[in-house]
């Protein structure tokens, strides 16, 4: 299991020791000098040039995070090609390392700290991609709250585009990647390309003068659509009142994840009922259709074609697992007859995988969530971002984030300029409702984008677990 790491796991002591880089005199990549490095991967020696610690804006706010590491296969300096990619045509793989909407430093090609397997950047280099990993500000710093992280990632894109001629790789083939909060930002980078809302922020940072559209998006379990994520969560988990919460605690400078078991209070159950109901008109307002042209809706009880659509996705996931030889007989929410998955019961599924968050899952009425912190500002660390939780707030003097900022963080609010999307949401992920990524995929389908969406069997809240398939997809769209 590779959960988002880096900044989310970085303890306080490490963070205060991060280097503050000087502001750059210009944004010219030609002036960077790289160092030749190499690693072995499956018997292959991968040589590349590393250009690290590049501050990607002229007027940075926090250079502990606003920098980028760029890695270019050495072959492209020798006029060679890798798997038909050349210095001119190689796509640029742009993974962000954001987890938990925390600040993130730029990544490096290395073994994943948890799994010990090569990370996406290593695999990308071995397959001939130019790799650019950008750090970004995050919620725990007063200057890192929304929309800072997405503004930073856009500035990094502009840097790559402005330097297309000076740098190996094709900046018209930028493929973004991220998981969880980073998955939401990856999707937002795609849908909000060149959106004018971000322009003043980019100007203020002294971002390179270039467009910030990207070619393709890979997003794992995006914690997105935060305006509607509480409703979606209760539509999925309403009636499941036992929960197993993950509490992330900073114990003696070490991050510890504790599981806390509990039961929803009567107040939480009441809020759950209200949020579930609020999800129904939202779904019905979206005018979404499945591939057969059936409109996806919900009735007054929260049942209907939209729910059946998600049940279908779960059945497909289960069928693929069975076809690989997995035994799913313990999955009591599935009906399997002679090796065929013939039914999935969404309510039984929710009970089976279990509730992980209490109501409301994202806009905490006590301002206790990561997202409350995300939508704080420089003066106020935590805010509400939905009318519902504002109205039900238990915090005296609590305020609500300005609606424009909330709007700017949601990939669903933009008409996508990016054509290609690969979205994965683990079948048993309970960090956000399966409806969130499903809606994103359906909306992009409706905009005639090329969307590859699945709920991989047996996966929870994690990403980068299928790098072979990820880069097969990247190759297929880049050819």
With CB under 6 A as the rule, give the number of residues binding ligand DHB. Answer: 9
Cα 69 from chain centroid (whole Å)? 20
| First-last CA distance in the chain | 31
Least distance CB 95 / ligand DHB (angstroms): 14
Least distance CB 431 / ligand DHB (angstroms): 4
Indicate the pairing of strand 288-289 with strand 254-263: unpaired
CA distances from 269 to 200, 205, 215 (A): 42, 45, 43
Query: If DSSP codes are grouped into helix, strand and coil, which group holds residue 120?
Result: helix
Q: Which residue number, 99 or 128, has a Cβ lying nearer to ligand DHB?
A: 99
Query: If DSSP codes are grouped into helix, strand and coil, which group holds residue 389?
Result: helix
Q: Select from 95-103, 138-146, 293-301, 437-445 the region that touches ligand DHB (CB under 6 A).
A: 95-103
Q: Is 223 in the site for ligand DHB (CB under 6 A)?
A: yes
Query: If DSSP codes are grouped into helix, strand and coil, which group holds residue 206?
Result: coil
Which residue has its beta carbon closest to ligand DHB?
Answer: 180
Least distance CB 175 / ligand DHB (angstroms): 20
Q: Select from 77-85, 98-106, 262-270, 391-399 the region that touches ligand DHB (CB under 6 A).
A: 98-106
Report the half-sphere exposure of 176 (CA within 13 A, side-chain side).
37
Q: Which residue number, 431 or 464, has a Cβ lying nearer to ligand DHB?
A: 431
Q: Select from 42-50, 99-107, 145-153, 256-264 the region that touches ligand DHB (CB under 6 A).
A: 99-107
| Subset of residues 392 to 411 that bind ligand DHB, contact rule: CB under 6 A | none
Tokens at 334, concatenated: 């599935």
Q: Which positions from 344 to 383 touch ligand DHB by CB under 6 A, shown as an x/- string? A: --------------------------x-------------
Q: Which residue number, 158 or 355, has a Cβ lying nearer to ligand DHB?
A: 355
What is the C-alpha separation between 13 and 20, in angstroms, rounded?
15
Least distance CB 82 / ligand DHB (angstroms): 32
Q: Which residue number, 136 or 280, has a Cβ lying nearer to ligand DHB?
A: 136
Least distance CB 102 / ligand DHB (angstroms): 8
What is the C-alpha separation between 306 and 308, in angstroms, rounded?
5
| Subset of residues 287 to 316 that bind ligand DHB, contact rule: CB under 6 A | none
Least distance CB 229 / ligand DHB (angstroms): 8
* 37 CB neighbour count, 10 Å cutoff: 16
* Options 24, 91, 100, 135; binder of ligand DHB; rule CB under 6 A: 100
Beta bridge partners of 50: 35, 71
- The angle at the Cα of 23, spanning 156 to 207, to the nearest 5 degrees, equals 35
Q: Which residue number, 344 or 440, has a Cβ lying nearer to ligand DHB?
A: 440
Q: Is 146 in the site for ligand DHB (CB under 6 A)?
A: no
Tokens at 225, concatenated: 């659509």
Least distance CB 271 / ligand DHB (angstroms): 17
Q: Select from 93-101, 109-117, 196-204, 260-268 the region that touches ligand DHB (CB under 6 A).
A: 93-101
* 38 CB neighbour count, 10 Å cutoff: 11
Least distance CB 473 / ligand DHB (angstroms): 22
Least distance CB 223 / ligand DHB (angstroms): 4
| Subset of residues 104 to 133 that bind ligand DHB, contact rule: CB under 6 A | none
Give the length of the chain: 479
* Options 91, 99, 138, 193; binder of ligand DHB; rule CB under 6 A: 99
Q: Which residue number, 167 or 275, has a Cβ lying nearer to ligand DHB?
A: 275
What is the C-alpha separation between 82 and 90, in angstroms, rounded?
9
Tokens at 235, concatenated: 């539509």
Is 279:270 a contact under the CB 8 Å cutoff? Answer: no
Q: Is 181 in the site for ligand DHB (CB under 6 A)?
A: yes
Backbone torsions φ then ψ of 467, nearest 5 degrees: -65, -35
- 3-state percent helix, strand, coil for the chain, nearest multiple of 5: 35, 20, 45
Q: Select from 94-102, 276-284, 307-315, 328-336 the region that touches ligand DHB (CB under 6 A).
A: 94-102
Beta bridge partners of 176: 94, 217
Q: Which residue number, 92 or 223, has a Cβ lying nearer to ligand DHB?
A: 223
What is the C-alpha separation between 275 and 235, in angstroms, rounded?
7
Q: Select from 35-43, 54-62, 97-105, 128-136 the region that touches ligand DHB (CB under 6 A).
A: 97-105
3-state SS, 31-68, equals HCCCEEEEEEECCEEEEEEEEEEEECECCCCCCCCCEE
Least distance CB 180 / ligand DHB (angstroms): 3
What is the C-alpha separation between 137 and 139, in angstroms, rounded?
7
What is the C-alpha separation between 374 and 203, in angstroms, rounded?
22
Least distance CB 408 / ligand DHB (angstroms): 17
Catalog residues that contact ligand DHB under the rule CB under 6 A: 4, 99-101, 180-181, 223, 370, 431
């Amino acid at each position: 299991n590779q959960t988002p790491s880096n900044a989310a796991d970085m303890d306080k002591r490490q963070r205060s020791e991060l280097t503050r880089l000087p502001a750059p005199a210009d944004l010219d990549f030609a002036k960077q000098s790289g160092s030749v490095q190499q690693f072995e991967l499956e018997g292959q020696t991968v040589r590349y040039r590393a250009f690290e610690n590049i501050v990607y804006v002229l007027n940075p706010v926090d250079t502990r995070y606003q920098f980028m590491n760029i890695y270019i296969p050495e072959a492209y300096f020798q006029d060679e090609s890798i798997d038909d990619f050349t210095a001119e045509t190689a796509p640029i793989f742009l993974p962000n390392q954001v987890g938990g909407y925390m600040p993130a430093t730029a990544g490096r090609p290395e073994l994943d700290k948890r799994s010990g397997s090569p990370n996406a950047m290593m695999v990308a280099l071995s397959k001939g991609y130019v790799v650019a990993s950008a750090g970004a500000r995050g919620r725990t710093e007063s200057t890192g709250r929304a929309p800072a992280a997405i503004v930073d990632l856009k500035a990094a894109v502009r840097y790559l585009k402005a330097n297309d001629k000076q740098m190996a790789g094709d900046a018209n083939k930028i493929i973004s990647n991220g998981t969880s909060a980073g998955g939401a930002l990856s999707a937002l980078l795609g849908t909000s390309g060149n959106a004018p809302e971000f322009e003043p922020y980019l100007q203020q940072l002294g971002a390179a003068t270039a467009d910030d559209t990207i070619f393709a998006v890979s997003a794992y379990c995006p914690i997105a659509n935060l305006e509607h994520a509480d409703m979606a969560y209760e539509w999925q988990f309403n009636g499941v009142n036992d929960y197993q919460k993950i509490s992330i605690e900073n114990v003696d400078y070490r991050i510890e994840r504790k599981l806390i078991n509990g039961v929803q209070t009567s107040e939480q159950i009441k809020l759950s009922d209200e949020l579930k109901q609020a999800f129904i008109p939202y779904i019905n307002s979206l005018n979404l259709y499945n591939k057969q042209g059936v409109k996806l809706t919900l009735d007054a009880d929260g049942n209907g074609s939209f729910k059946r659509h998600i049940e279908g996705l779960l059945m497909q996931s289960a069928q693929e697992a069975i076809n690989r030889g997995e035994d799913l007989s313990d999955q009591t929410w599935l009906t399997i007859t002679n090796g065929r998955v013939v039914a999935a019961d969404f309510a039984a599924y929710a009970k089976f995988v279990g509730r992980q968050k209490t109501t409301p899952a994202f806009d905490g009425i006590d301002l206790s969530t990561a997202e409350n912190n995300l939508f704080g500002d420089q003066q106020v660390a935590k805010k509400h971002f939905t009318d519902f939780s504002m109205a039900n707030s238990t915090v005296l003097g609590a305020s609500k984030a300005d609606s424009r900022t909330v709007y700017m963080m949601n990939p669903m609010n933009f008409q996508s300029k990016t054509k290609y999307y690969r979205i994965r949401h683990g079948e048993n992920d309970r960090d956000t409702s399966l409806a969130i990524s499903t809606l994103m995929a359906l909306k992009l389908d409706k905009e005639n984008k090329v969307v590859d969406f699945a709920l991989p069997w047996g996966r929870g809240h994690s990403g980068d677990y299928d790098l072979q398939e990820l880069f097969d997809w990247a190759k297929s769209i880049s050819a």
